[in-house]
Amino acid sequence: MKIVAVLALLGPGLARYIPLEHHGMSVTIDSGFVVDDAGQNVRWIGTYTSGLQRYIDDTFPPITDSDSAQVTFFNTTELRVLTIKGDSTSASEHDYLVDVTLNLPSLFVLKLEGSMGVAPNATINTDVTPPMVALDNVYMSVVLGGNYDSTANATYEAIRIANGSHCQIRGVTAKSSGTNVIEVHNGNRHEISHSNLDGGDAAFRCIWLLATNRGMVSFNYATRCVGHVIDFDAYTSNSAAWSNVAEHNGVTGKGEGIFVEETAKDNFIFNNTVSKNGGNGIAVYSNVVGPVSGNIIASNTVENNNGVGLSSGGYGHDPTKHAGDNIFVGNKGSGNKEGEVDFQIMHGATINDFWTGNSGKYMYEEDPHSSANVSVLELPS
């Protein structure tokens, strides 16, 4: 008999039944052994991701798009959970080693209670920057908790989400010396939250969103990335970054704490604290393509950065490369060192930006001759 799950209600008294093989299944691997409900070792999997991958492929069959077409609510009834535990007591050792990228299936939770590092014999394959763990072309899957450290191999980033939808990275500690610590490339409704990210003064970005729709970045602490801490890159839209802390980044003096760039539009940057960084705090900027438009930058704190606190503009005063129709409201700036400027409102071409209710010192690269370029409304205190 095939087990089915009630996944969504289509109307009063009418339920939609969709078969999901092994739905709600929960498995624990402890120090390389599959353990049963009594905590007894029943099968050796090993502590390399190649062995974990074979086990995942054999135990958790793929979920097709048709299986989840009507899904609106998920809990442990539908999600498959793999808990991986370790027993390493040394900070220099890892419980599990990545010799190949660990690819997760849909409707899957990887819960790591321990640490994972990159093996000396790690396979690169064809990925330019392979991740330790990948959520590629999947939906409703989660990486939950654990310590992911790819600093032993600068080619690797810690975790990647690519394409798919509704995936989460939550509560992880991740370190990388590669291009990114965490990458979200394409797809929609992906989330990175409640995580501690460390670039080791080597990784360029802590969190990179590229061509992503409705991405969510919240309650993360990010430090020691040499470039951008949170980068809303080209074609990222309708996304939000809120209540993150980005500090002690950009030791080379380059990069931004939070960067909204290259056609990124309709994003919301709210209540972040960006401080003590080598470059600028928050920047809305078009360097190669534009516009960067319709973004709301609200209630952020930008302080003690080596560059300016918050800026908007486009390269070379080129009208095709501009920041436009962005709103900057309620931000607080202080102690930013470049020219002692908190808000640089025309860092190149701007069209119809609006600044209001901000607390800090403004600078104009040139006088805004028209409200069609930029408007500033500040009421007396």
Query: Which token pair is 222?
Result: 């990010």
The pLDDT of residue 304 is 92
Do 241 and 270 touch, CB atoms closer than 8 A?
A: yes
- Which pair of structure tokens corresponds to residue 249? 């980044």
Give CA 245 to chain center in angstroms: 13
Per-residue confidence (pLDDT) for residue 3, from 0 to 100: 31
Render pLDDT for 223-270 as a digit per residue (tens, 0 to 9). Answer: 999 889 999 999 999 999 999 999 988 766 677 899 998 899 999 999
206-224: burial string, b at 16+ Cβ within 10 Å, e else: bbbbbbbbbbbbbebbbbb
Query: Region 68-87: what's the mean pLDDT?
Result: 77
φ, ψ for residue 140, nearest 5 deg: 55, 45
Mean pLDDT, residues 33-45: 88
DSSP per-residue codes, 16-66: EEEE-TTTT-EEEEETTEEE-TTS-EEEE--SBHHHHHHHHHHHS----GG
Q: Which letter does DSSP use for residue 237 in this model?
A: B
Tell me the pTM: 0.89
Which pLDDT value is given to residue 335? 92
Who wins on pLDDT, 87 or 46? Answer: 46
Structural domains of the chain, ranges and CATH numbers in brackets: 24-377 (2.160.20.10)
Instruction: Count Cβ atoms below 10 Å from residue 61 Cβ, excluding itself.
Output: 12
Q: Hunting for tokens 């729709």 — which residue is that?
A: 213
Instruction: Tell me what the mean pLDDT of segment 290-313 comes to.
Output: 93
Q: What is the rounded distance in angstroms from the CA atom of residue 325 to the CA atom of residue 335?
A: 27
Dihedral, 357, 309, 345, 311 alpha carbons, nearest 10: -120
Residue 371 confidence (pLDDT): 74
H or E stretch including 161? strand 157-162
